[in-house]
Amino acid sequence: MKCDSLIEALSQRVKVLEVTRQYEDQVTALVELNDLPEAVSFLYYGKGGYLSTMVANDEREINKHYALYYALSMEGGKMFEGDELAQEEKCFITIKALIPADNPTYPSVTPLVPACVWYEREAYDMFGLVAEGLPDKRRLALSDDWPNDLFPLRKDAMDYRYRPDMREHYMEPEFEFLRPEGSGIIDVPLGPLHITADEPGHFRLFCDGDTIIDADYRLFYQHRGMEKLAENRMNYDQMGYLAERVCGICGYAHAIACIEAAEKAINLQIPLRAQAIRIVCLEIERLHSHLLNIGLACEVTGNYNAFMHIFRIREYSMKLAELVTGGRKTYGNVVMGGLRRDMTGTEIKESLKILQIIETQVEEVWDAVMDDKRQISRWKGVGILDKQVARDFSPVGPNIRGCGIKRDTRYDHPYDFFNQIEFEVATAQGGDVFAREMVRYMELKSSVSIIRQCFELMPQTPIMIDPTFHVQPENFALAYVEAPRGDNVHWIMQGSAQKVYRWRCRAATYNNWPSLRFQFRGNTIADAALIVCSLDPCYSCTERVTVVDVRSKKSKILTRLDLEDFSKTLKGNPLKDLK
């Protein structure tokens, strides 16, 4: 069985209290709380794991403890050619540790595995679990004026709407950005609000002149509480519709990951035709997402002509989505046991015609972009993600494949119909904006090929089986899909009466954010927007410039008139008189 040899190696390193298997490629090992950092770091660096997700859970009703689940994708380090596990060894190993209810503290894993930092910060926000030794203990998901004794995902959390201290929000404390040491550093804010941003982000660039020395950022301005909502009110099919609304681009990927987590928890196998159509829809999302990002990466650098042509092509991918699902973006097609809607032969023939148009026109526009030396110069050497930083922080999607690291869930852990599909994992060298956009271009061609293969091999089976099943409380499993931005990972623990006990939704961008500050360093302010764009999130920029004296920690926000006066006196060191 998969994972057995890795679990045996882990047992020789730390004491493993219990081993349970959730699925053929998913195993959970329970370890002593004090052994948690050693167990995770051993699998991460010693055995070639990457952090897929970490789940905190309130299990006091089950075993009188809180629990932590660190889910690792075992693939091999992939730092050089051949540095990966054989396909039959690749699997998911989850390290579980129980935390006493009367002492909710645990040793932080972050000092050994930097990729854990956001997860452990969020575990405090949502559950009040304190990571001892965590280098960064600032809030992550909740606002800074949130009550210190209210943890939303605890099972006994009081409804915050009825607390008097949650009704009066007059002055939220200022978030403490991590500033570098030194004098004469300019603090340039980007964000947090802009009318075109679907999820605002507040970035702080710390600059010496025009060069970014370091950066920090504050996100989670629109935390919607979906996990809590699902626990209280929804059955699994309803959760799929909710998950589809996590993201405006890869909603189908979230819906599939959510539903397949529930399916795997009960070992429910769906028909092959449903598997194939699910893959078709996932690859259609990759088409319109990558076309969107390549177009925006051109627009940010002023190449509006390429932007308009790419968006013209993107419209064909939306028509393709409508042919396959009946909807251009919100599909409502994924349910327990399969799909709600099948495809006709006529729809498949029309889809093949549209695929040919997309393939031809994408190549034409991309060749034109590559002939534009100015465009290429704006992409090359900008926003470099160092390969070792990528290894330390477990980014996903084009962000890590642009570093030459061959990580792709479709390749490492084939799901649904992918065992019958041939494709090459797109990678590029350099780790810069150019490499990430090159990966997206190669994946556009790959997605067209994958969709064609699904149509050619389309199994003649039903699209749905009877999803009736007996709920098994406390069963859990994770599911994963390779969304356009990287793998989305969903973890579900079953409750009773077809209700979920705990749902953990981890979007791809969550794993990409922590390493962003390293990509900013050494670049210019003018390239900041392009670097963020190349990660494929949303960002905004509305604030004015702030000049900060890091020694006295005093700051001054410059008005328009201040900026005009400031620009007239750029002689010697213009910052010396600003306090």
pLDDT tens track for 281-316: 999 999 999 999 999 999 989 999 999 999 999 999
- Which residues define the annotated binding site for Fe cation? 250, 541
Residue 471 predicted with pLDDT over 60:
yes
Residue 226 predicted with pLDDT over 60:
yes
Residue 325 predicted with pLDDT over 80:
yes
Helix, strand, coil percentages in the chain from 3-state DSSP, rounded to 5 = 40, 20, 40
Domain boundaries, the chain: 1-139, 178-222+520-579, 226-512
Residue range 326-342, pLDDT digits in tens: 877 777 889 889 999 99
Higher pLDDT, 117 or 182: 117
| 98: its two tokens | 């129980």
Higher pLDDT, 572 or 500: 500
- As a whole number, mean pLDDT of residues 264-279 equals 92
Residue range 349-370, pLDDT digits in tens: 999 999 999 999 999 999 999 9
CATH class of 1-139: alpha beta
- Which residues define the annotated binding site? 227, 247, 250, 538, 541
Q: Which CATH number fits domain 226-512: 1.20.58.1880, 1.10.645.10, 3.20.20.70, 1.20.1530.20?
A: 1.10.645.10
Residue range 77-108, pLDDT digits in tens: 999 888 999 998 999 999 999 999 999 999 99
Distance between CA 321 and CA 326 in Å, rounded? 7
pLDDT at position 385 is 96
Distance between CA 130 and CA 121 in Å, rounded? 8
Residue 190 predicted with pLDDT over 90:
no
Give the model's confidence band at 185: pLDDT under 50 very low, under 70 low, under 90 confident, else very high: confident
- Provide, rounded to the nearest whole percent, the portion of the chain with pLDDT above 70: 87
Evaluated on CA atoms 273, 252, 126, 536, the torsion sign reads positive
- Which residues define the annotated binding site for Ni(2+)? 247, 250, 538
Distance between CA 184 and CA 168 in Å, rounded? 38
Least confident window among 119-123, 164-168, 397-401: 164-168
Q: How far is CA 10 from CA 5, 232, 413, in A?
A: 9, 37, 21
Phi and psi dihedrals of 66, rounded to 5? -90, 160
Name the range with the highest mean pLDDT among 41-45, 87-91, 144-148. Answer: 41-45
DSSP sequence for 301-361: TT-HHHHHHHHHHHHHHHHHHHHHHSSSS----EETTEES----HHHHHHHHHHHHHHHHH
| Nearby residues of 143 by Cβ (< 8 Å), 6 or more positions away | 172
The neighbour count for residue 423, using CB atoms within 10 Å, is: 17
Pick the closest to residue 28 from 228, 269, 265, 263 (CA basis): 265
- As a whole number, mean pLDDT of residues 341-346 equals 92
> Under a CB-based contact definition with an 8 Å cutoff, are residues 85 and 12 in contact?
no
| Nearby residues of 116 by Cβ (< 8 Å), 6 or more positions away | 40, 51, 54, 70, 108, 109, 110
| Nearby residues of 408 by Cβ (< 8 Å), 6 or more positions away | 401, 425, 482
Least confident window among 27-41, 283-297, 404-418, 491-505: 491-505
| Nearby residues of 138 by Cβ (< 8 Å), 6 or more positions away | 121, 175, 176
- The type of residue at 370 is M
- Which residues define the annotated binding site for Mg(2+)? 227
Higher pLDDT, 180 or 445: 445
3-state SS assignment for residue 177: coil
Pick the closest to residue 55 from 477, 508, 514, 484 (CA basis): 477
Mean pLDDT of the chain: 87
pTM of the complete model: 0.89
pLDDT at position 61 is 92
- Provide, rounded to the nearest whole percent, the portion of the chain with pLDDT above 90: 62
Residue 573 predicted with pLDDT over 60:
no
Higher pLDDT, 357 or 179: 357
